[in-house]
Amino acid sequence: MEITNTVFGQISEYNHEQVVFCNDPETGLKAIIAIHNTVLGPAAGGTRMWAYANEADALRDVLRLSRGMTFKNAISGLNIGGGKAVIIGDARKDKSEGLFRSFGKFVQNLNGKYITAEDVGVGTQDMEYIAMETKYVAGKPKSLGGSGDPSPVTAYGVYVGMKAAAKKVYGSDSLAGKRIAVQGVGHVGEHIVAHLAKEGAKIFISDIYEDILKNVATKYGAEVVDKDKIYDLDVDIYAPCALGATINDDTLSRLKCKIIAGAANNQLKDEKIHGDACLAKGIAYVPDFLINAGGIMNVYCEISMPVYNQERAYEQAEKIYQYTENIFQVAEKEKINTQEAAMRIAMQRINQMAKIKATY
């Protein structure tokens, strides 16, 4: 989706309720909190720390990510709305206690309208600092009564979604012998590789950090490939687990896979154009906000239950298998791409719940 260049133009186009710019020169904090939709409940979604090339990129990212959270939370049957935050900075160089506590204070000032959690570049220690300033934080360390790192549950959800896609395409959900390219082997990517290795898939991995690649390749017997050549591999499944927009005109002309199923958010550069292009190319694309919902399901177990229960989180993530099958069915029946099918199902739930909530 193309968006206009003014700040309000972008906020209106995506239909956000509120966007908060956080600036603290003392700690160097520059952050943006985007609240997209709170019909189902308080906006919930992680905080990403990234060295954006410019502020416009950071704004675009947080607007897209928070909108994705609205769809993700809705389609997963959770009673929370969509929100997300980005901190502008290099996660390997710019972190400090002050920066995260300052950010926590901004979250607290929203009085529960936004609940934050982890995302790329933000770890459990950082969440602990945020939690010192606000109670509206989930994904706290387990030792603090939280649900801890959500990545294992996210990875499990991606794994079962991938299996459901394999069932659709190959008639069997076994991934044994399947050639699978995992792009980005960070928190989620590594756990996905672990599931795939256990099932006997042939795994190819790429990352931008040599140390991470070496570790994962050695542990799971995966083959390292050049980060720019991953799209040219002869594989059955491409699993984007790094950043967004990797499904675009260039990569679609190179990809040979039959399935795209990975953890990254906003995988389609343009939802309509590249969702349709996957359909036309016969690629079964599992919408990102559906397949990577395990993390928020895990966080939701922390928010919505008196005591976090990991078993419940995995039970919920397991449902991604059925949700994926459902998306394929609706897409086929309505003759639309899978992204559109998933968005329709999510919006249907939001609209229905809005009506139900409107009466006492």
Residues that bind ligand NAD (CB under 6 A): 119-121, 150-151, 154, 183-189, 206-209, 212, 227, 241-243, 263-265, 292, 295
In degrees and rounded to multiples of 5, residue 183 shows phi and psi of -95, 110
| CB nearer to ligand NAD: pick between 5 and 69 | 69
| CB nearer to ligand NAD: pick between 236 and 288 | 288
The residue of the chain with the least Cβ separation from ligand NAD equals 186
Minimum distance from CB of 79 to ligand NAD (Å)? 19
Q: What is the dihedral of CA 316, 322, 326, 328, to 10 degrees?
A: 120
| CB nearer to ligand NAD: pick between 60 and 105 | 60
For residues 85 and 62, the answer to whether their CB atoms sit within 8 Å is yes
Of 187, 183, 109, nearest in space to 148 by CA: 187
Amino acid letter, 246: T
| CB nearer to ligand NAD: pick between 138 and 263 | 263
Q: Tokens representing 114?
A: 């936004």
Residue from 84, 113, 140, 168 carrying the catalytic annotation: 84
Of 206, 212, 210, 195, nearest in space to 238 by CA: 206
Minimum distance from CB of 151 to ligand NAD (Å)? 4
3-state secondary structure of 249: helix
Catalytic-residue membership of 84: yes
Distance CA 97, CA 117 (A): 16
Per DSSP, which regions of 253-319 are E strands? Answer: 259-260, 284-285
Q: Is 148 left (phi over 0), alpha (psi -120 to 50) or beta?
A: left
Minimum distance from CB of 283 to ligand NAD (Å)? 19
Residues designated catalytic: 84
